[in-house]
Amino acid sequence: MFKRILVSKLADRLSKPPRFIQIVVGPRQTGKTTAVLQALEGLNIRKHFVSADDPNLVSAEWLHNEWEQARAQAKSGDVILVIDEIQKVGKWSSIVKLLWDEDTRLRIPLKVILAGSSSLLLQKGLAESLMGRFEILYSPHWNYAECKEAFGYSLDDFLFFGGYPGAAAFIKDETRWARYMGTSIVEQTISQDILMMEEVRKPALLRSLFMLGSGYSAQELSFTKMLGQLQDAGNTVTLAHYLELLGKANMLTGLQNYSGSQIRTRKSSPRFMVYDTSLMTYANGANRRRLLENATDRGRLVESAVGAYLLAKGNEEGFEVYRWRERNNEVDFVIKKGSALTAIEVKSGRVKNVGGSLVFKKRYPKALSLVIGSANLGLEDFLSGKKPLFL
């Protein structure tokens, strides 16, 4: 069975004394639970695995009881407690903080893994109660190298079908694949990871924004223009908020313009970017031949694949992803980590202005410049992680 790098990272942390809670978070259906189970298989440590997947059966009392059972086992040595879909337990972060601090004070050798697909609620809980008590391991969408090794994907397969491992079973039947994407990925993420966890007054508008933005991935569209294409669109503040929720759910974001000024950055029109190309192809009607053979459509698909790779890496490695445009000069992506800056241009085949990288380099002379699709850096090598992103 194929094992992601996440598995070895988690196993390594669990083999050491319990200094931090391990948080495994990422998009729905990317194999978080499988990775946790694979990590546990290689460890000669007792385990207590529970899931809060049914919100009607779990409660604060349930969480206390499961934790106490793991504590009882820990009286005779190390035990690993795994709680899957932790975000479905009400006030989970406050309860975990109390129990973890008790374990630390009493020196109970209990190692804890918390996993969840709702980044929205996990982030809120971590910020509110567990600061300084956890480490995060991200389970992003599968990248090209993983899909190639695990499923035998070609580059075109990956561009179209993206990085959801469960969808790989349906790549010979686009109709079934699209149905799987709609019911098991898109609708489940929106209904379970956004609508159940956040107050959304216009769910239909959020769904429409997802479809519009995903279809426009790698393109710029102002919120004002969106109002004219969406029914019952409300106002630009509502759209910006819903786009933020979709971003936290690892579905769709709006890349802002990099200017070195946070004030100017936030005022720019977003460039839509999906977190996985399958979301773009699904929103566009899942027509493989049209999307891959038309130069303009393929170009946007290639740029979306690069953007999705950068968004995943940004989550894992802690850097920000932008775009850059001044007048007729533009750069597809700008990534920033501390003081390090990299401008990334994608030769995707679609017609666009050239020379933006040179202008950007004059403006920011210390920045690294990368051109994907050039003789020195092919798309496959970049998506396989063979090129360092910063100096």
Please, which residues have CB within 8 angstroms of residue 361's CB and are 6 or more apart in sequence? 343, 367, 369
Range of weakest confidence among 68-72, 240-244, 289-293 = 289-293
Q: What is the pLDDT of residue 55?
A: 66
Two tokens at 66?
Answer: 């499961």
Q: What is the pLDDT of residue 164?
A: 97
Q: Is 344 left (phi over 0), alpha (psi -120 to 50) or beta?
A: beta
Please, which residues have CB within 8 angstroms of residue 162's CB and are 6 or more apart in sequence? 141, 276, 277, 278, 279, 281, 308
Please, which residues have CB within 8 angstroms of residue 336's CB and are 6 or more apart in sequence? 258, 319, 320, 322, 342
Range of weakest confidence among 172-176, 231-235, 279-283 = 231-235
Mean pLDDT on 195-221:
91
Q: What is the pLDDT of residue 235?
A: 81
Please, which residues have CB within 8 angstroms of residue 141's CB and are 6 or more apart in sequence? 27, 30, 162, 163, 164, 250, 275, 276, 308, 312
Show the CA angle centred on residue 26, arms to residues 319 and 221, nearest 5°.
60
Two tokens at 62?
Answer: 């349930």
Q: What is the pLDDT of residue 282?
A: 96
Q: What is the pLDDT of residue 68?
A: 97
Q: What is the pLDDT of residue 354?
A: 62
What pLDDT, in 10s, does the model give residues 76-128?
A: 889 999 999 888 888 888 999 999 999 999 999 999 999 987 565 566 666 66
Instruction: Using the predicted structure, report yes or no on whether residue 218 has a pLDDT greater than 60.
Output: yes
H or E, element range at 110: strand 110-116
Q: Are 83 and 115 in contact (CB under 8 A)?
A: yes
Mean pLDDT on 136-145:
95
Q: What is the pLDDT of residue 24?
A: 93
Q: What is the pLDDT of residue 365?
A: 95
Query: 49 pLDDT band (50/70/90 cuts)?
Result: very high
H or E, element range at 238: helix 236-248
- Dist CA 255 CA 240 (whole Å): 12
Domain 5-138 class?
A: alpha beta
Q: What is the pLDDT of residue 197?
A: 74
Instruction: Using the predicted structure, report yes or no on whether residue 267 has a pLDDT greater than 60.
Output: no
What pLDDT, in 10s, does the model give residues 5-43?
A: 999 999 999 999 989 999 998 898 999 999 999 999 989
Sign of dihedral through CA atoms 203, 206, 212, 214? negative
Cα 70 to chain centroid distance, Å, stands at 31
Q: What is the pLDDT of residue 286?
A: 73
Q: What is the pLDDT of residue 324?
A: 95
Mean pLDDT on 279-306:
91
Instruction: Using the predicted structure, report yes or no on whether residue 266 has a pLDDT greater than 70.
Output: no
Q: What is the pLDDT of residue 263?
A: 46
Q: How deeply is 241 buried, as exposed, middle or buried, from its count of CB atoms within 10 A (0-12, 13-18, 19+)?
A: middle
Two tokens at 153?
Answer: 């994907």
Domains in the chain: boundaries: 5-138, 144-218+244-383
Instruction: Using the predicted structure, report yes or no on whether residue 232 has a pLDDT greater than 80.
Output: no
Q: What is the pLDDT of residue 264?
A: 54
